[in-house]
Amino acid sequence: MASSSKSTKLYHTRSISLPCRSHPTTLRIDEELNKLKTWEASSTPTADTICDGLSGLQELYNCLDGLYNLPVTQQALSHHQHEKWINELLDGSLRLLDICGVTRDVMSQMKEHIRDVQSAMRRRKGDSSIESSIAKYTCFRKKMKKDAKKLIAALKQVDNKIEASPSPLLESDHHITSLIRVLREVNVMSISVFHTLLLFLSLPISKPMPTRRWSLVSNLLLKGAVGSEGQQENVNELGSVDIALHILSRCGMTEGDKMQSAQNSFEALEVTIEVLENGSGSLFRRLIKARASLLNIVSH
């Protein structure tokens, strides 16, 4: 997918030097960061890769919690609690928390619209009921696309602030210098994962294709075969629903096989959105815990 090329990534490779590298906690952080860097270099905005990124980020924050519990970390951060870069880290964590929370809420609303359409299709009490639910879904889909783009812009602001922030000139305290680099790297990885998720949610609504190509895609959908062929057309779960709805609007709501195809697409999308919502919800809780730990340390 073109939007997932490296040129659109919001991350920047940084060399880090973890404090107390022999400590099991810091070794785990190093390992998780390397895993995410590998994911980052090859990921595309698909449901599976996004879930992998969310899971990897959760593990990274689990490790970060262990780092915050190290006495040497608490002492270092507490000693430098009034430094400018501490406030920058706190501000960055708050912004990421807000972005994650809004993203989770958007997906929750999306799931409700999907269920409303499915319910209307199952009842089949009239075309008007189905059309109304589909219209509301489509309207929200457009709104979600705009919201996702705004959140991507907010991520870019956080990333630019990290890039512009100078490293602490504390050569006499290698631990705190390394620690700040690590915490910034965690924020950069968080930005990259959220960026990939938001790219998925901001996928352009599929445009009508020439009749012959629509016929091909229609046949694939009806056969439940939007697999490798769908991948070639950059069709993910959101795109599959767009295509199914377009076919349904062209053929009419009374076409049983077309209606079943649309229902199947919505079911697949509901599963995808629910998995992503759960992943972002778990990550949201870890972000809260990480921010609370940082606040507790610097407030003492």
Which residue ranges make up each domain of the chain?
A: 19-203+274-298
Indicate if the pLDDT at residue 233 is higher than 70: no
Residue 143: per-residue pLDDT: 93
Residue 101: per-residue pLDDT: 96
Closest CA to 192 of 37, 82, 299, 34: 37
Residue 129: per-residue pLDDT: 83
Indicate if the pLDDT at residue 173 is higher than 70: no
- Look over the chain and give the mean of its residue pLDDT values, rounded to a whole number: 80
Which residue did the predictor score with more confidence, 129 or 14? 129
Residue 105 structure tokens? 């809420």
Q: What is the mean pLDDT of residues 89-102?
A: 93
Count other C-beta atoms under 10 Å from residue 218's C-beta. Answer: 19
Indicate if the pLDDT at residue 257 is higher than 60: yes
Counting every residue, how long is the chain? Answer: 300
- The CA distance from 290 to 1, in Å, is 33
- The CA distance from 233 to 231, in Å, is 5
Q: What is the secondary structure of the chain as a DSSP string?
A: -GGGSGGG----------TTTTSHHHHHHHHHHHHHHHHHHH--S-HHHHHHHHHHHHHHHHHHHHHHTSHHHHHHHHHTTTSHHHHHHHHHHHHHHHHHHHHHHHHHHHHHHHHHHHHHHHH---HHHHHHHHHHHHHHHHHHHHHHHHHHHHHHHHHHHHHHSPPP--TT-HHHHHHHHHHHHHHHHHHHHHHHHHHHHTPPPPPP--HHHHHHHHHHHHTT--SHHHHHTT--HHHHHHHHHHHHHHH-TT-HHHHHHHHHHHHHHHHHHHHHHHHHHHHHHHHHHHHHHHHHHHT-
Residue 167 structure tokens? 């490293």
Reported as a single tens digit per residue, the pLDDT across 31-47 is 999 999 999 888 777 89
Residue 61: per-residue pLDDT: 95
Q: What is the mean pLDDT of residues 135-147?
A: 93
pTM over 0.85: no
Q: What is the mean pLDDT of residues 140-151?
A: 94
Cβ contacts of 52 within 8 Å, gap of 6 or more = 39, 43
Reported as a single tens digit per residue, the pLDDT across 182-227 is 888 999 999 999 999 999 998 876 554 444 444 444 444 444 434 4
